[in-house]
Amino acid sequence: MGQLHPVLSNTHVIQNALQAWQHPNSDQAKYVEQRVIKQLLQALIFEDIRVC
């Protein structure tokens, strides 16, 4: 089983997103949402490449 440190290191980004989504109309929420999606995709791609 592979280590998930790269994914777990993004936990603070997810927490920031949850806080921002409490104010869904703010520019910060939109910025954080894009950033979270980008980082999660990068983490998933990184894990997929490492596992294969």
Specify the amino acid at residue 9: S
For the entire predicted model, the pTM comes to: 0.40
Of 23 and 37, more confident: 37
What 8-state DSSP symbol labels residue 18?
H
Total domain count, the chain: 1
Containing structural domain, residue 15: 5-51
Non-local (6+) Cβ contacts of 45 within 8 A are: none
Span of 1-5, 23-27, 28-32, 47-51 with lowest mean pLDDT: 1-5
Q: What pLDDT score does 23 carry?
A: 66
Q: How large is the average pLDDT for residues 14-36?
A: 74
Q: How large is the average pLDDT for residues 22-32?
A: 73
Q: 37 pLDDT exceeds 80?
A: yes
